[in-house]
Amino acid sequence: MKGYPRVRPRRLRLNKNIRDTTAETDLTPNNLILPVFVKENITTPEKIPSMPEILRYPVNDLLVKFIEENYEKGIRSVILFGIPAFKDNFATSAFSKDGVIQKALRLLRDTFGEKILLIADECTDEYTSHGHCGIVNYRGDKYYIDNDESLKVHAKIALSQAEAGADVIAPSSMMDGVVGAIREELDKNGYSDTLIMSYSVKYASVFYSPFREAANSAPAFGDRRSYQMDPRNSFEALKEVSLDVEEGADILMVKPAHTYLDVIRLVKQNFPQYPLAAYHVSGEYSMIKAAVQSGWLDERRTVLEITFSIRRAGANMILTYYAPKIAEWISEGVPF
Ligand code: PBG
């Protein structure tokens, strides 16, 4: 056969312009959500040993400056995690008017108006002495996470976050019915325009370890396997997602991201009409950092390849500690 091969896939890879023009996936700062730690009772940013180059911010002009810098890079969405000075068994500081997250939301709302989309992580683990994502109760001397008691607290936290100016509430507790409980509480109080981005499919993952150091939120006893999903399961994700959709979630999330690309694809294929977020979590961040610091991987190429993979799998938005760097790198052109 003369001229064989007639079909040559390599033609589409011939030079950068052809590759860029025919690329199936793109990545812009609009796809990025920046996670930010805000801590009560500090005045200057603090380093986090397990997450090189990530800081905990005080609720003051230094936080504003950080968000401003990211705004300049094109990042319009942030998700806030609060680290309170006070913890108890009922997460009281999570729904106090003057809680750290409420103060940060008000400051950013007053400063930026509608320029920044403010997302509030909604959970109890950073605010409870026991560090669980709900209320702990006992049957005899055996503890359990009381699902329906927890719902009342999660609804209260969500409402106080909406009152403080959050555009989006992001429940991350994996309690059954939490999306519905929050939706009802918000609607009852005049916040029917407040969105819910649900951590619908959140696995019981080792990759949250650096975050737990960052947010001081490791469980004091037990673990999260009775509420977060088993890493061996993927189809169960569709059950979690169906329930969240029924309960009124606006945006869905899969977490972690890099280790669960199959789940991202599965959810996107089955619920294409819902915006899907994926969370590139702390451990996924720190693994890359460690390899980069050892000189084993090129940071820019590694991060862009992984982030594009998460987009390719089907995520519309990516929560990533690398957001500031990614925004810079993509403005210089992608290395493909
Ligand atoms: C719970 C929450 C966690 C993360 C986000 N929200 C921790 C957990 O479930 O233990 C982890 C994020 C990360 O690892 O980057 N409030």
Reported as a single tens digit per residue, the pLDDT across 83-118 is 999 999 999 999 999 999 999 999 999 999 999 999
Query: Atom 14 (ligand 1): residue with closest C-alpha?
Result: 208
Residue nearest to atom 8 of ligand 1 (CA): 208
**What ipTM does the predicted assembly reach?**
0.95
Residue ranges around ligand 1 (CB below 6 Å): 121, 123, 125, 172, 208, 211-212, 281-282
301 annotated as belonging to a binding site for a ligand = no
- For 243-278, what is each residue's pLDDT tens digit? 999 999 999 999 999 999 999 999 999 999 999 999
**Å from CA of 188 to ligand 1 middle:** 28
What's the chain's average pLDDT? 97
Q: What is the pLDDT of residue 203?
A: 98
Strands (E), the chain: 32-39, 46-47, 55-58, 77-83, 117-122, 135-139, 142-146, 168-171, 195-202, 251-255, 276-280, 317-320
DSSP 8-state symbol, 42: -
The verdict on whether residue 224 carries a ligand-binding annotation is yes
**pLDDT score, position 102:** 98
Residues in the chain, how many? 336
Residue having the nearest C-alpha atom to atom 16 of ligand 1: 123
How many whole angstroms from 130 Cα to the centroid of ligand 1? 15
**Beta carbons within 8 Å of 96's beta carbon, 6+ residues apart:** 102, 160
Phi, psi of 229 (to 5 degrees): -75, 155
Per-residue confidence (pLDDT) for residue 3, from 0 to 100: 77
Residues 100/83, Cβ–Cβ less than 8 Å = yes
Catalytic residue status for 255? yes
From 39, 202, 268, 289, the catalytic residue: 202
Ligand 1 atom nearest residue 282's Cα: 15
pLDDT confidence tier of residue 336, bands split at 50, 70 and 90: very high
Q: Quote the percentage of the chain above a pLDDT of 90.
A: 98
As a whole number of angstroms, the distance between CA 282 and CA 255 comes to: 11
321 is in an annotated binding site: yes
- The Cα 175–Cα 311 span in angstroms is 27
Ligand 1 midpoint to CA 185 (Å): 24
56 assigned binding-site residue: no
Give yes or no: 142 in active site: no
pLDDT at 1 over 90: no
The closest-lying atom of ligand 1 relative to the alpha carbon of residue 124 is: 16
71 labeled binding residue = no
Q: Which domains does the chain have, with CATH numbers?
A: 25-331 (3.20.20.70)
Residue nearest (by alpha carbon) to ligand 1 atom 5: 172
Confidence bin at 148 (pLDDT 50/70/90): very high
